[in-house]
Amino acid sequence: MNKTTISEVYKYVDQEVKIGAWLANKRSSGKIAFLQLRDGTGFIQGVVVKSEVEEEVFQLAKSITQESSLYVTGKVQKDERSPLGFEMQVTGIEVIHQAVDYPITPKEHGTEFLMDHRHLWLRSRRQHAVMKVRNEIIRATYEFFNQEGFTKVDPPILTGSSPEGGSELFHTKYFDEDAYLSQSGQLHLEAAAMALGKVFSFGPTFRAEKSKTRRHLIEFWMIEPEMAFYEHEDNLKVQEQYVSYIVQSVLKNCQVELKTLGRDTSKLENIQAPFPRITYDDALKLLHEKGFTDVQWGDDFGAPHETAIAESYDKPVFITHYPTSLKAFYMQPAPDRPEVVLCADLIAPEGYGEIIGGSERIHDFDLLKKRLDEHELPLETYQWYLDLRQYGSVPHSGFGLGLERTVAWISGVEHVRETIPFPRLLNRLYP
């Protein structure tokens, strides 16, 4: 007999197979039992008909508890009604481990309860689907940047200097020195781009943000490309191509998961480069027209503003040329207009907010030194970064895409806490 997985049963239609699985849920009557089986690769319904199996098998089917682990044998059959397209006519069941009372029952549970049981909640159909979408985005990311000739570079996690400002840094001791958990790999990636041309990183980043919103995690994963000789417009092109690529990859390879999540896929099909662009100035006008009269030039946009701007488009939208005063020290001022910078935030549709922050970087030594002074950043710490502007300095650009916000948008889940296996939130370090 063929030992297989749920994702591979399509190869064995009308044949008998054996799978290792957990019992996700169960319904039974006097004559028939329906077992919802899951094995990590997918979900399948096992049907146990009393008149067709040995009495012992039927009694076992009725007595197994939720989340017990099993070896199940049965015949694979086509079934149009199931999302998978197949079900299993069960012939035999072997219980590996009978589970004790499982806390997450098929009824509704509150979010705090589910978060306390995240180690178990991950097993549910919906959470499984989100993790599969996340994995597809990761896979497509590597594929895209490898195809485009980028080299993956791993910046340090323990750092002495920070790109995005001091207030959100996690402090730790590095023997006798002070160190911080990385909030972005950008500065080190700029150095790597001068060695390797086009580079990207993909790693965890940390922000001690006291924000309790559906978009903020304390620990999140970021994809950060950095490209030598790329100017502002070149940078936007990479971003729209990359985001289109991951959306189209998920549409192609995660049909079952998107169906499980109830995602409206017509909204995703439309996500193809190019994306619309709007300057900060024009976005401000748009906000005023929409009744947000309190925002002034120089104010940052909050979540409601981003959502209002995004509503005017059915694709992600770049907001470009923010006031210099709002953005990090390293951003290149616009030619002839130093009060704004050559940057863009990419705002996802449907209220998911900013998924990318990026910019052209200052490559002039004197200007960068002046900006470090203005931001009162210690020269000793940033000497190595400034040094990059002394040896064949070139225009260069890059960006950072937040993985979890992107997973939330593409999956259509409300809150980023469901998009990472074990979220670190303001008041949550366990499980």
> Which does residue 163 bind out of Mg ion, ligand 4AD, none, counting CB within 5 to 8 angstroms by kind?
ligand 4AD
Tell me the one-letter amino acid at 16. Answer: E
User: Which residue, 93 or 199, has its beta carbon nearer to ligand 4AD?
Assistant: 199
Phi/psi at 118 (5° precision): -55, -35
Q: Within a 10 A sphere around the Cβ of 191, how many other Cβ atoms?
A: 17
What distance in Å separates the CA atoms of residue 99 and residue 408, rounded to the nearest whole number?
A: 32
User: Which residue, 357 or 395, has its beta carbon nearer to Mg ion?
Assistant: 357
> Which does residue 400 bind out of Mg ion, ligand 4AD, none, counting CB within 5 to 8 angstroms by kind?
ligand 4AD
Residues that bind ligand 4AD (CB under 6 A): 163-164, 184, 186, 207, 209, 216-217, 220, 222, 224, 354-358, 398-400, 402, 404-405, 416
> Which does residue 216 bind out of Mg ion, ligand 4AD, none, counting CB within 5 to 8 angstroms by kind?
ligand 4AD
Buried b (16+ CB within 10 A) or exposed e, 230-264: bebeebbebbbebbbbbbebbbebbebbbebbebe
> Which does residue 206 bind out of Mg ion, ligand 4AD, none, counting CB within 5 to 8 angstroms by kind?
none
> Which does residue 222 bind out of ligand 4AD, Mg ion, none, counting CB within 5 to 8 angstroms by kind?
ligand 4AD
The residues near 29 (Cβ < 8 Å, ≥ 6 apart) are: none
What distance in Å separates the CA atoms of residue 54 and residue 340, rounded to the nearest whole number?
A: 76
User: Which residue, 95 or 425, has its beta carbon nearer to ligand 4AD?
Assistant: 425
What distance in Å separates the CA atoms of residue 317 and residue 306, rounded to the nearest whole number?
A: 10
Task: Return the closest-CA partner of residue 262 out of 132, 129, 134.
Answer: 129
> Which does residue 411 bind out of ligand 4AD, Mg ion, none, counting CB within 5 to 8 angstroms by kind?
none
Collapsed DSSP state (helix, strand, coil) of residue 361: strand
Residue 373: both structure tokens together: 């002074």
Q: How far is the CB of 407 from ligand 4AD (least distance, A)?
A: 10
Q: How far is the CB of 174 from ligand 4AD (least distance, A)?
A: 22
What distance in Å separates the CA atoms of residue 16 and residue 24, rounded to the nearest whole number?
A: 22
Q: How far is the CB of 186 from ligand 4AD (least distance, A)?
A: 4
User: Which residue, 48 or 189, has its beta carbon nearer to Mg ion?
Assistant: 189
User: Which residue, 356 or 407, has its beta carbon nearer to Mg ion?
Assistant: 356
User: Which residue, 92 or 358, has its beta carbon nearer to ligand 4AD?
Assistant: 358
Q: How far is the CB of 283 from ligand 4AD (least distance, A)?
A: 16
Count how many residues are written for the chain.
431
